[in-house]
C-alpha cells in the first residue's frame, strides 16, 4: 500500500472518517487507547525500536481511529508513536481505520501479543476487559484472536487469585509465572494459607511442583508411640488445630520430627494471625 503524505487538519476530518488510508499524522493529534493491555515497559526492547526508527524510519504504519474532533486514538503501535516522540519527529505514518471500540480494543491486544508477548497478568486482564466491557463471549474472542478458547479460559483463571498475590507474582523483580499462579488456585478460598505459601514461594523461588507439594503436605504423625500428634479441627483446619508432643530424651531420632511439627504449627499460627489482621 502506497503511503500518502498529507497533514491532518480539521477540514480533512470527514474524509478521514470515510476512508481507510495511510497518512502522516502530527503526533500532537494522537491520544493513547484506554484498552492498551501493556502495563510495563521493556526498556531494552524500546531502545532497539528507537534505534531502528532513527535509522530506517517507521516501516509499519501505526493504526488509529477518529475519536473527538481533530484527535485520533492509537489502536495499534503505541510504542512506535512514543519512540517517534522521543526522537523529536513531528509526525508518523498511520492507517486511519473506522471501527467501533470493541474492534479497536481487540486489535490493540492482537498487536501487542503478536509483536511482543504480554505477561500472563497483562494478557488475562486484557481478555477480562474485552469480555466485561464489550460483551465478548470467550469463543468469539478466541476466534477474533486466532487462538483456542482454552488459552483464554486458562489465562482468566489466574484472576481468581487476590490482586495482592498477582502483584507479587508478576512484579518486575519476580520470577514467578502463570504456571506458578495456577498451582495456587486450590487455595483461592483459603486466603491466610494462600498468602503464607505465596510469600514463601516468591521469596524462595519455588517451582510449580514445590508449590503443589506444599499445598498437599499433611502434618507427619509418628505411628506407635506417636511422639507427635497433629489434629486439625473443623473443615481443612479452619477452626484451628491440636498439637501434642511427647519428647523422650532417650529417643534422639524423634527430634527432627518434633522440629518439623513445631515449624508447621508456627506456620499455621501465622496464617491465623494474618486472617485476623
d(CA 207, CA 212): 9
- The contacts of residue 264 (CB under 8 Å, 6+ apart) are 219, 230
Question: What one-character DSSP code corresponds to residue 59?
Answer: S
d(CA 244, CA 251): 17
Yes or no: say if 27 and 93 are a contact pair by the CB < 8 Å rule.
no
Concerning whether 223 is annotated as a catalytic residue, the answer is no
For cell 507479587, the residue is 168
| Active-site annotation holder among 73, 78, 107, 214 | 78
Yes or no: say if 184 and 194 are a contact pair by the CB < 8 Å rule.
yes
For cell 500472563, the residue is 120
How many CB atoms are closer than 10 A to CB 271?
A: 18
E strand or H helix that includes residue 199: helix 191-204
Instruction: Say what angle helices 191-204 and 208-216 make with each other, to 10 degrees.
Output: 140
> With 0-12 CB in 10 A as exposed, 13-18 as middle and 19+ as buried, what is 28?
exposed
Catalytic residues: 78
Amino acid at each position: 500500500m502506497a503511503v500518502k503524505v498529507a497533514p491532518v487538519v480539521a477540514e480533512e476530518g470527514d474524509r478521514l472518517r470515510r476512508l481507510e488510508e495511510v497518512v502522516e499524522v502530527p503526533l500532537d493529534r494522537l491520544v493513547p487507547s484506554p484498552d492498551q493491555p501493556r502495563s510495563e515497559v521493556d526498556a531494552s526492547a524500546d531502545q532497539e525500536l528507537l534505534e531502528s526508527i532513527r535509522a530506517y524510519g517507521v516501516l509499519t504504519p501505526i493504526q488509529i481511529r477518529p475519536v473527538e474532533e481533530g484527535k485520533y486514538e492509537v489502536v495499534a503501535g503505541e510504542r512506535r508513536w512514543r519512540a517517534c516522540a522521543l526522537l523529536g519527529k513531528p509526525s508518523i505514518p498511520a492507517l486511519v481505520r473506522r471501527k467501533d471500540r470493541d474492534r479497536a480494543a481487540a486489535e490493540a491486544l492482537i498487536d501487542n501479543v503478536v509483536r511482543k508477548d504480554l505477561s500472563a497478568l497483562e494478557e488475562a486482564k486484557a481478555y477480562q476487559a474485552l469480555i466485561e466491557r464489550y460483551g465478548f463471549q470467550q469463543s468469539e474472542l478466541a476466534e477474533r484472536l486466532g487462538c483456542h478458547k482454552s488459552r483464554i479460559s486458562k489465562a482468566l483463571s489466574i484472576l481468581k487469585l487476590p490482586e495482592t498475590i498477582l502483584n507479587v507474582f508478576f512484579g518486575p523483580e519476580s520470577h514467578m509465572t502463570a504456571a506458578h499462579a495456577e498451582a495456587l488456585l486450590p487455595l483461592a478460598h483459603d486466603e491466610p494459607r494462600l498468602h503464607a505459601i505465596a510469600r514463601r514461594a516468591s521469596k524462595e523461588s519455588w517451582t510449580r511442583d514445590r508449590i503443589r507439594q506444599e499445598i498437599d503436605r499433611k502434618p507427619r504423625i509418628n505411628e506407635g508411640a506417636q511422639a507427635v500428634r497433629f489434629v486439625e479441627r473443623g473443615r481443612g483446619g479452619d477452626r484451628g488445630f491440636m498439637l501434642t508432643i511427647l519428647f523422650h530424651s532417650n529417643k534422639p531420632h524423634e527430634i527432627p520430627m518434633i522440629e518439623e511439627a513445631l515449624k508447621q504449627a508456627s506456620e499455621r499460627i501465622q496464617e491465623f494471625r494474618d486472617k485476623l489482621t
